Amino acid sequence: MTDVPTPTGKPELIKPKPVFRLDLWIWAGIVLVLGAMLVHALFTNPNFRWDVVAQFLFDARVIKGVGWTLLLTLAAMAIGIVLAVTTAVMRMGTNPVLRGVAWAYIWFFRGTPIYTQLVFWGLLPVLYPKLSLGVPFGPEFFVFTTQEVINAAVAAILGLGLNEGAYLSEIVRSGLNSVDKGQWEAATALGMRHGTVLRRIIIPQAMRVIVPPTGNETISMLKTTSLVLAVPFTYELTFVTNAIGNKNFLPVPLLLVAVIHYLVITSVLMVGQTHLERYYGRGFEGQPSGRPQNKRAARQQAIGASGTVNDVTNLEVTP
């Protein structure tokens, strides 16, 4: 009998020295020099008038403009999401008339520039001074003065919301389509009806595909609100800062004021976006899984790990 080697305690762990990466240091040097040049160019150029920027950054009119921009963004997204879910479900439904309506809505609002649409919303009180509820070519029950119902703010929100709904509808639809067909089969085989299958089985799983691009759309909407001057709506950030800049003959520093505010809001939204993506990315390969802290997170991880939802990576659509 030869000696059987006895297992010794702990193995010696490998702790290698990392590879020296020259390219990393070269790029760091290049970026450092370029960055210094940029900072120098930004802060030493007297045309930027940073003193004026500081003076107007928290001006009451500007802050109100930020408020209106946020309100337009949120209201338009809310309308857009409701329209998107409705039209996406209509397009996947069994009623060919509703399928056609949803298709036509998307066709029109994706097929025309948002700027043109906003001009038309602004012109509505001129084109149709009175709005009435009644039978076509027959009696009218209610009559409104268009100007009173659709003022500039309502026109702006409707214009942005209807346009956004068309884009989001495609996102929702690809989300619903990304759920494995076996899920439909299992649910219908149990006797569930179309609407129940969508609501209870398909939509909860499609959320992970729908929500992250919707966050992206929100960031995009924030900047699209600057187009509502087409209505014209004159209280949002871009219009307000432009107006102040033109009055003072100092357009450049006021543009910078707008840029700073947009960047700050976008940064906040991006933090939210990152959290959403991590939340809905649970269970997919390459995502940190670990032990989820709560039931909702556990549910998302379970969906991800099951592989019944295809990851749609090309869903970055913006108007």
243 or 298: CB nearest another protein = 298
Residue 308 burial (CB < 10 Å; 0-12/13-18/19+)? Answer: middle
| Least distance in angstroms from the C-beta of 196 to another protein | 5
Q: What is the DSSP string of the chain?
A: -PPPPPPPSSPPPP-PPPPP-HHHHHHHHHHHHHHHHHHHHHHH-GGG-HHHHHHHHT-HHHHHHHHHHHHHHHHHHHHHHHHHHHHHHHHHSS-HHHHHHHHHHHHHHHHS-HHHHHHHHHHHHHH-SEEEEE-TTS-EEEEEEHHHHS-HHHHHHHHHHHHHHHHHHHHHHHHHHTB-HHHHHHHHHTT--HHHIIIIIIHHHHHHHHHHHHHHHHHHHHHHGGGGGGTT---SHHHHHHHHHHHTT-HHHHHHHHHHHHHHHHHHHHHHHHHHHHHHTTTSTTS-----SSHHHHHHHHHHHHT-B----------
The closest of 218, 220, 224 to 159, measured between CA atoms, is 224
Give the integer Cα–Cα distance in Å for 67 and 265. Answer: 11
Which range in 46-54, 131-139, 193-201, 235-243 contacts another protein by CB under 8 A?
193-201
By CB under 8 A, is residue 294 in contact with another protein?
A: no
By CB under 8 A, is residue 205 in contact with another protein?
A: yes
Give the integer Cα–Cα distance in Å for 181 and 244. Answer: 56
Among 116, 132, 274, 306, contact with another protein (rule: CB under 8 A): 306
| Least distance in angstroms from the C-beta of 119 to another protein | 44
Which range in 74-82, 98-106, 187-195, 225-233 contacts another protein by CB under 8 A?
187-195
By CB under 8 A, is residue 308 in contact with another protein?
A: yes
By CB under 8 A, is residue 194 in contact with another protein?
A: yes
Site string for another protein, 81-120 (x = CB under 8 A): -------------x--------------------------
By CB under 8 A, is residue 226 in contact with another protein?
A: no
By CB under 8 A, is residue 225 in contact with another protein?
A: no
Which range in 40-48, 56-64, 98-106, 192-200 contacts another protein by CB under 8 A?
192-200
In sequence order, the β-bridge partners of residue 142 are: 133
Among 70, 101, 103, 180, contact with another protein (rule: CB under 8 A): 180
By CB under 8 A, is residue 186 in contact with another protein?
A: yes
By CB under 8 A, is residue 293 in contact with another protein?
A: no
Which range in 37-45, 134-142, 162-170, 175-183 contacts another protein by CB under 8 A?
175-183
59 or 180: CB nearest another protein = 180
130 or 200: CB nearest another protein = 200
| Least distance in angstroms from the C-beta of 280 to another protein | 12
85 or 206: CB nearest another protein = 206
Binding site for another protein (CB under 8 A): 94, 180, 182-183, 185-194, 196, 200-201, 204-205, 283, 298-299, 301-303, 305-306, 308
